[in-house]
Amino acid sequence: MPLFNPTGIPAGDVTASNGNLIIGTAGKGLQVKEGTNAKMGTAVLNGITEVTVATTGVTATSRVFLSVETPGGTVGGLAYVSSRIAGTSFGVKSLTIGDTSTIAWLIVDPA
């Protein structure tokens, strides 16, 4: 059983080593804090020019998931991770010149 701090948030890591993490109530879900050096956030594309997302949360083996939140400019078919510096940042580009869409990103690390 995890230890709780006064705010009711578990202190430290929670491990489900013999099973799955199950959110068993409709309307409840996973919440990830955004901000400096986070594992989730947003960025604005600059077409085919790389946009750097600064976060110490990215590793050499991280999976970075991207989705368009707000289309902008000449919307492209796909944004992709174009570079990565573990512990520092990752880069994102669109395949389309003029794409200024706001994208959301989420970093998940393999166990």
Look at residue 90 and tell me if it is in a domain. yes
Distance of CA 71 to the CA centre of its chain: 18
Other C-beta atoms closer than 10 Å to the C-beta of 54 total 14
pLDDT at residue 61 is higher than 90? yes
Give the span between the Cα atoms of 78 and 73, in whole angstroms: 14
The mean per-residue pLDDT over the stretch 4-14 comes to 64
Q: What is the pLDDT of residues 79-88, one digit of tens each?
A: 999 999 999 9
Asked if residue 27 lies in contact with residue 79, where contact means CB atoms within 8 angstroms, the answer is: no
Other C-beta atoms closer than 10 Å to the C-beta of 2 total 10
* Secondary structure class of 32 (helix, strand, coil): coil
Global pTM value: 0.84
Q: How many domains does the chain have?
A: 1
Look at residue 14 and tell me if it is in a domain. no
With b meaning 16 or more CB within 10 Å and e meaning fewer, what string describes 72-88?
ebeebeebebeebeeee
Look at residue 75 and tell me if it is in a domain. yes
The mean per-residue pLDDT over the stretch 66-71 comes to 96
Look at residue 68 and tell me if it is in a domain. yes
Look at residue 47 and tell me if it is in a domain. yes
